[in-house]
Structures are given as C-alpha cells and as structure tokens.
Amino acid sequence: MDVSASSVKELREKTGAGVMDCKKALAESAGDLEKAVDYLRRKGLAAAAKKSGRLAAEGLVGAYIHAGGKIGVMVELNCETDFVARTPEFQSLLKDLAMQIAAASPRCVRREDVSPGELEREREIYRRQALDSGKPEKVVDKIVEGKMERFYSEVCLLEQAFIKDPDRKVGDLIQGAVQRLGENIQVRRFMRYQVGEGIEKA
C-alpha cells in the first residue's frame, strides 16, 4: 500500500525510528499508526531510536587503506562510554563503516547533511527530465520523490546498502549495534581520500 509522507513523519516523531523502518511498519499495519508503533517496538527499533537522543561523546577514530594505498578513509564513530568503544563489536562496526566509505564513496553521513542548494538543484534536474520525457504533470512529483530517494541512497552513508549485506542499509547496521550494545552510536564524521582526486590530468 502507498504510505503518506505525513504518516511517516508522525510515526518518526513518535518513535524516532528511521524513515524506511516507519514506511515498512505502516505498510505492514495497513496505515494504522498505533499498530505501526507496536510493530516497531516488537522489532526493537523504537527502543533503539530512543537512545539516539543520548549524548555520545566517547568512541574511536578508525582508518582503512584500500587498493594498494590508492584510497584511504578516516571515520569517527561515537558511543556513550569508553567501555563500549573498546568492545570487539564496536571496533568491528567501525572497520565495516570505514570499508563501506572506501567502497561506496558517500559524500555525507545523513540526508540532513546535504545542503538545501544541492537538494534544490537535484529536484529541478529530475523535474525537468520527467517533463521533457513527456510525463504528465500529476505524476511528476512522485517521480521526483522516487529519484530523490535514490539520490540519498547514493550520497548518504546511512542510506547506502551495506556492502557486506546489500539487503540492509548502513543505518540499520548501526541500529542493530545500538540494540545489542545498549548505547547511542553515531557516525560523527568521515574523510575519504583517493590518489589523484580533483587533479586535472593532461
């Protein structure tokens, strides 16, 4: 079933769960908000989301070098305590994230980090493409929103398909760790370097 953006927004505000999790919960619950909340609670997603408001100022910086020294990544992963930062699971998650960034080349952590100007440009390009291809005006907005979701899944780390399990998003991977480790876990920032990037070659 089609799920309205307003329903997704309301469910997110109630539970703090991710956009895709809210969409799935509403679809599974035939649009019933209370049943969708129960669905998320059963899956443990609402509880994990509540932890996202807690301060995460501990953690580690991880580094990963790939392709014979041609690509390098540094990423800061935060949690609430140094104890959790030292666990094998947290360190394994940090390594997976660094490898993800090296392989999939995201530009930012989350969709909120994309500048309004860039979003406006992307929307306008997709709108023009749809209109130029002869699509009727009434379906253009839906086409644009679909293309924007694909855009986010390419440029935002948390929205990307996880390289080791493409059926899961990176954000879901982190939420799973939040549930198991019992702390708020956040990717704060990352930097990806590639040899020769930005240099114009003759």
* pLDDT per residue as tens digits for the range 136-179: 888 888 888 899 999 999 999 999 999 999 999 999 999 889 98
With bands split at pLDDT 50, 70 and 90, how would you rate the model's confidence at 53?
low
Count how many domains the chain has. 3
pLDDT bracket for residue 114 (50, 70, 90): very high
Same domain as 187, residue 100: yes
Nearest to 85 by CA among 184, 168, 17, 190: 184
Q: Same domain, yes or no, for 179 and 143? A: no
- Does residue 105 share a domain with residue 63? yes
Parent domain of 22: 5-51
From residue 55, give the alpha-carbon distance in Å to each of 74, 82, 84, 119: 22, 13, 14, 29
135 lies in the same domain as 64: no
CATH for 130: 1.10.286
Residue in this structure with the two tokens 């799973």, named with its chain if needed: 176
* pLDDT at residue number 31: 87
pTM exceeds cut of 0.95: no
Q: For the domain that residue 22 is a member of, what is the CATH number?
A: 1.10.8.10
Distance CA 85, CA 72 (A): 22
**CATH number, position 161:** 3.30.479.20
